[in-house]
Chain A
Amino acid sequence: MNKPNELAVCCRDLNLTFYQGGAAIKGLDHVSLEIHSGDSICLSGPPGSGKTTLLNVMGGLLSPDSGQVLIGEQNLSDMKASELANLRLRDIGFVFQSYNLVPVLSALENVGFIMEMQGRPKPEIESKAKAMLDRVGLSGLYDRRPAQLSGGQQQRVAVARAIVSEPTLVLADEPTANLDSQTALQLMELFQSLNKDFGTTFVIATHDTRIEAYTNRHIRMQDGRIESDRRD
């Protein structure tokens, strides 16, 4: 994990245009952003404002038309597809809105999956995965398959998987969108406490403004641009 306040992500003048039905849509419009280790960012804005696009570009899932993204000292534009995959595997944790877990793996196996792919030793995987599931409040549910867990529990497993391998950055795209409000707030409390306890850097894209209360930096996007960026 990076030291607090060290530069974790640096986005420089990102531009990305989508074409839909012949019309050009600005996904990102001259976006520049610096994220420090330990930041917990709420990336908000209306649908189509560019939150998910920015998240995907930071995660190396989308390439910008111009501009640069640096994760630590690694420039994503210089990396090949396999190197980007490796970066996602080792340095970035993801939490998606849905289809977060592998249905045929148990909660414990889902959490340990990334570490397995990283080639870590089995005993370490098991002990860390169990500890992380305990930490997100899922003790005793190790062997449950995703279909046997509630939506909130599934998202907790996804959060546990995202942070268990101690990535530089965790990107969460609308993690509470499919949850009821109480479960959504419980998940945000979890993000908050993990950020405090482990110093994990979170960027959470959401259109739910209540989530701002659980993060220490609020970035609002509109039409592919950063409209406001404030810290608590």
Chain B
Amino acid sequence: MIIQLAWRNLWRNKERSALMISAIGIAVCAMLFLVAMTRGFMLSLYDSGIEALPGHIQIHHPSYLDDPVVDHRFDPNDHTLTKLLEAPEIERWSARIKVPAVISSEYESRGITLLGIEADKEPQHPRHGYTLIEGDDAALHSNGDGIVLGQALADKLETRLGKRVVLMTQSAAGGLAERGIRVTGIYHSALTAREETEVYISLQTAQKLLGLTSEVSEIALFVNNTSMLEATQANLTADLAPSLEALRWDEINEYLGATMKTMDQFIYIIVGVVFLTLSFALVNTLVMAIYERTPEIGLLLALGLKPRSILACLSIESMWLITLGMLMGNALALANLYLMGDGIDLSGVAEGLAMMGASPYLSADLSFHDWAITNALVFFLGLTTSVLPARKATQLDPIKALHAS
């Protein structure tokens, strides 16, 4: 009877209830939509970050990140290391040379980061967060000879595909290593700074230039399950030689790591702020409903209905209101996300997004976890909020309430 009474009370003022259900629906839709968009943005940042690093975990000489010179190198063919990299949780790995260098054309010289990579072991599209726009990257495969550089750098150097440039860097012996090399590919990256500073040659070419046999600057590895990243790192660290360290992506790119963590919190701040706004409307609706029904509540109390039954009745009424609003909100949010398809084209502000390392296509990503947390928060906080005015109603004096106008 209490449930039935609550349901019928809900529809006593149809306009008000419909308005409130719509308000809850729109708020829930906004929450889910914002959560999905923020998560999508985070995913874009993460993907770009991982592509640019790239890798979930990197192995270096402990001093390498502070001073990324050829002196801080290591041999990837070490037996223990090779064994560790065969662990089932590691999906794939690649070795790289990554050292500071100078590139010169006939007209200009620039300081760059020289990357020697094994193209066939690196992520494919886009490789290192770039897209080839001229030539090819065949030179980056084993025994390839040629250099792939960014469009912005090519412009600065006033060079182009097929022309030769000179690379200069410190050799492993401590002397100057230099050689001329032909431009075989030009890439475009969302981040202009990368186009200007990162140039690619094959790992073997880089080793030859630096006077190395098999040593590298870093090993980047991708894991099968990113939720097990810390465990994988711990396993690696436990058995790695003391002259090496294994760092997660968020330790290497602390800015990205901190951004991801902040945005993780930000998602729930969004939910909290939207809910706070919603809760005022919810409380107001219930206060009005109780105000209008004061004589009736007085009658029920006078007839012997327990205050907890009144509380239950009003709380169930709120529950109906919140549940219907949530159903509407979820349907609206899912429809919106479906209609959005591949994402929103924000190419108008692509430069700004690129500076942050995000894609110009902002897509939504609504995980079950976010969906469940958002709905659970709205439901339980909504109910808690509505209990406050309902509790007040149970404390009414039946006689005064009966005669309230």
Complex Cα distance, B12 from A116, in Å, reads 22
0 or 1 for each of A53-65: is its CB under 8 Å from B? (1 = yes): 0001001011000
Partner of B402, one of A90, A99, A117: A99
Q: Which of B12, B295, B302 contacts A88 (CB 8 A)?
A: B302
In the assembled complex, B156 has its CB within 8 A of some CB on chain A:
no
Q: Which residues of A contact B296 (CB under 8 A)?
A: 99, 102-103
Q: Could you tell me the distance between the alpha carbons of A96 and B300 in the complex, rounded to whole angstroms?
A: 12
Instruction: Report the Cα distance A104→B1, complex, angstroms.
Output: 11
B104 at the interface (CB under 8 A from A): no
* Interface residue SS majority, chain B: helix
Q: Which of A56, A87, A94, A105 contacts B8 (CB 8 A)?
A: A105
Q: For B306, what are the chain A residues with a Cβ–Cβ distance below 8 Å?
A: 82, 85-86
Cβ B9 vs Cβ A104 within 8 A: yes
Per-residue contact bits, chain A 190-203, to B (CB 8 Å; 1 contact, 0 not) = 00000000000000
Give chain A residues whose Cβ lies under 8 Å from the Cβ of B295: 98-99
Question: Which residue on chain A has the smallest CB distance to residue B305?
Answer: A117
Chain A nearest Cβ from B314, distance in angstroms: 13
- A85 x B5 contact (CB < 8 A): no
A100 beta carbon closer than 8 Å to chain B:
yes
Query: Which residues does chain A contribute within 8 Å of B302, judged by CB atoms?
Result: 59, 61, 88, 94, 96
Q: Does B146 contact A (CB under 8 A)?
A: no
Q: Does A214 contact B (CB under 8 A)?
A: no
Over the window 294-310 of chain B, the binary record of Cβ atoms lying under 8 Å from chain A Cβ atoms (1 yes, 0 no) is 01101111111111010
> B269 an interface residue at 8 Å Cβ cutoff?
no
CB pair A96 B8 closer than 8 Å = no
Given A61-B398, A113-B1; A89-B304 close (CB under 8 Å)? yes
Question: Considering only CB atoms and an 8 Å cut-off, how many residues of chain B contact the other chain?
Answer: 21
Asked whether A141 is an interface residue with its Cβ less than 8 Å from the other chain, the reply is no
CA distance A113 to B302 in the complex (A): 13
A103 vs B295: C-alpha distance when bound (angstroms)? 11
Task: Report if A100-B5 is in contact (Cβ < 8 Å); known contacts: A85-B304, A87-B304.
Answer: no
Interface residues of A in 75-116 (CB under 8 A from B): 82, 85-90, 92, 94, 96, 98-100, 102-105, 109, 113-114, 116
Question: Judging by beta carbons under 8 Å apart, are B8 and A104 in contact?
Answer: yes
* A-B contact number at CB 8 A: 58
* Bound CA–CA A87/B304 (angstroms): 7
Any A CB within 8 A of the CB of B399: yes
Report the nearest B residue to A53, measured CB to CB.
B399
- The answer to whether B9 touches A88 (Cβ under 8 A) is no
Cα distance A86–B304 when bound, in Å? 6
Contacts of B1 in A (CB 8 A): 109, 113, 116-117
Given contacts A96-B402, A99-B296, A102-B299, contact A90 B304 (CB under 8 A): yes
Cα–Cα, bound, A228→B301 (Å) = 32
Q: Given A85-B304, A105-B5, A113-B1, A62–B399 Cβ distance below 8 Å?
A: yes
Pick from B9, B305, B309 the residue with the most CB of A within 10 Å. Answer: B305
Contact residues in B for A103 (Cβ distance below 8 Å): 12, 296
A-side contacts of B300, CB under 8 Å: 102
- Identity of the chain B residue whose Cβ is nearest the Cβ of A82 in the assembled complex: B306
Q: How far is it, in angstroms, between the C-alpha of A114 and the C-alpha of B12 when the chains are bound?
A: 22
Q: Report yes or no: B299 in contact with A114, Cβ–Cβ below 8 A.
A: no
Whether the Cβ atoms of A88 and B298 lie closer than 8 Å is no
Alpha-carbon separation in the docked complex, A6 to B8 (Å): 42
In the docked arrangement, what's the CA distance between A82 and B398, Å? 13
**Could you say which of B5, B299, B304, B309 contacts A99, with CB atoms under 8 Å apart?**
B299
> Can you list 15 A-B pairs, Cβ within 8 angstroms, ordered by A?
A59-B302, A61-B398, A85-B306, A86-B304, A86-B306, A88-B303, A99-B296, A102-B296, A113-B303, A114-B304, A116-B1, A117-B1, A117-B303, A117-B304, A117-B309
Further pairs besides A61-B399, A117-B1: 17, Cβ < 8 Å: A56-B399, A82-B306, A85-B304, A87-B304, A88-B303, A94-B302, A99-B295, A104-B5, A104-B9, A104-B12, A105-B8, A109-B1, A113-B1, A114-B304, A117-B303, A117-B304, A117-B309
